[in-house]
Structure formats: structure tokens, C-alpha cells
Amino acid sequence: MVLEQLQLLAAITRIDNELADLQEELGDLPHEVKALEKEVRSRQQAVDTTQKHIDDILQTRSNAKIRAQEIQDKEKKLSAQQFQVRNNREFDAITKEVEMLKVELREVEKTIGSTMMTEENLRRVYDAQFADMEDVRDRLTEREHELNDLSSEHNDEINDLLSRRADLLAKLPKTLVVQYEHIREYHTDTTVAVRKSCCAGCFNAVPPQRIVEMRTYKTIFTCESCGRLLYPEEMQHIQG
Ligand SMILES: [Zn+2]
């Protein structure tokens, strides 16, 4: 009776250890996927900001080009007018105006030139940022696939283990199930062997007299130090 119960408890603990391993395997992946998603978002923002700068610079250049055309048209008109002046005063006034337009045109052309350089720099930044983002996005996709594969693969395994666990638990008395689940809140390896006269869970010594009693399979013993359920090392295991 007690032997059978201990065998069941040991089998359930083996299943619980497997479940814990599966959980651990999945462990970092969900966290990693979340972190990568966040990184992709922040890199996308950097790319968008650079794109916005490029758009602004293109707008500035387009405005400058329109202004340059206006200046050139006006200058042409003034040059034509200069042939029709009636006196020197009018001639000088037009000359002065043309001079001012030439100064402004030089400024506008300077602006156009500097937008070219800025655009070139920004495009280099954009390309680097975009490649960076694609890199992280690729890593994210990879990790997502891994997580999906692992999850679905694990789901089958986990369901199988849980149903085997339920079958085994159903064969135990209720009080023992309650005791088992209570100990499991503290130790995943709830049921352990006594090895070299020590609890295999916490490695504290088990008194020789208890080991002798344990081998008679009349009572279920717990470790006095950690509370885990104990069974003699030589106990036969059942398939569970
Ligand atoms: Zn112990």
C-alpha cells in the first residue's frame, strides 16, 4: 500500500520535473520576443524621424528653387526696363535693385547647395538606420518562429504530461494529494530518494533508524529539514 503510493508519488514528481524543464526551456523566449518588438519600434521611430528631416530639407530646396526662378525673372524684366529709362536717376535705381537681387540670388543658391549636402548626409543616416531596423526585425521574426514552434510542440507534450499526472493523482488518497501539492509549492522535486543516508533534495542526513523504518513501507516519511517526501534508494519505480 505505502510502497505503491510512494511509487506513484515518485512518478508524479518525475512528471513535475519534466513540466518544470519545459517551462524553463520556453523561459527566456517570450521575454526576448517582447524586447525585440520594443527595439523594432524604437528603430522605426528613428527611421521615421530621419525621413521627416529629409522631407523638410526637400521642401526647403523646392521653395528656394521657386524663389531663385522668381529672382531671375525679375532681373530679366529689370534689365529690359533699363533700356527704356528716361534719366540717370531711374537707371541707377534699377541698377541698385538688380544688385540687391543678385545678392539675394547668391544666398538662395547657397541654401540650395547646403540642402544638397544635408540631404546626402541624411540619406546615409537613413540607410544605416533602416538596415539596423531590418536586422532587428529579422531577429524578431526568427525568435517568433522559434517561440511558435516550441510552444505548439510543447503544448502537445505538456498536455500529455498533465493527463498522465491526473491519472496518477487519481490513484492516491485525497489527503496525500493535498500534502503533495502543499510540498510542491516549495519544491518542484517533491518526492526524492534517500541517497547515502541523505535527503536527495536538501542533502541533510536522515537518521539511520528512519531509513530502517522506511524500508518496511509502513509509513510515508518526510525530510525533517526540507519537508520533501522520501523513499528508499532501492525502491523500484513504476512507469508513469
Ligand atoms: Zn530534505
pLDDT of residue 152: 84
CA of 220 to the centre of ligand 1 (A): 14
pLDDT of residue 240: 67
Dihedral in degrees, nearest 10, Cα atoms 103, 108, 111, 113: -90
Quick check: 24 pLDDT over 90? no
Quick check: 5 pLDDT over 70? yes
Sign, Cα dihedral of 69, 75, 77, 79: negative
Percentage of residues of the chain with pLDDT beyond 70: 100
pLDDT of residue 26: 79
Nearest to 53 by CA among 134, 133, 121: 121
Q: Which fold has domain 27-170?
A: Helix Hairpins (1.10.287)
CA of 191 to the centre of ligand 1 (A): 10
Digit-coded pLDDT (tens) for 177-187: 999 999 999 99
CA of 208 to the centre of ligand 1 (A): 15
C-beta separation of 94 from 1 below 8 A: no
As a three-state string, the secondary structure of 79-110 is HHHHHHCCCHHHHHHHHHHHHHHHHHHHHHHH
**What are the residue boundaries of the structural domains of the chain, listed by start?**
27-170, 173-232
pLDDT of residue 206: 96
pTM reported for the whole predicted model: 0.59
CA of 229 to the centre of ligand 1 (A): 8
CA of 171 to the centre of ligand 1 (A): 25
C-beta separation of 193 from 235 below 8 A: yes
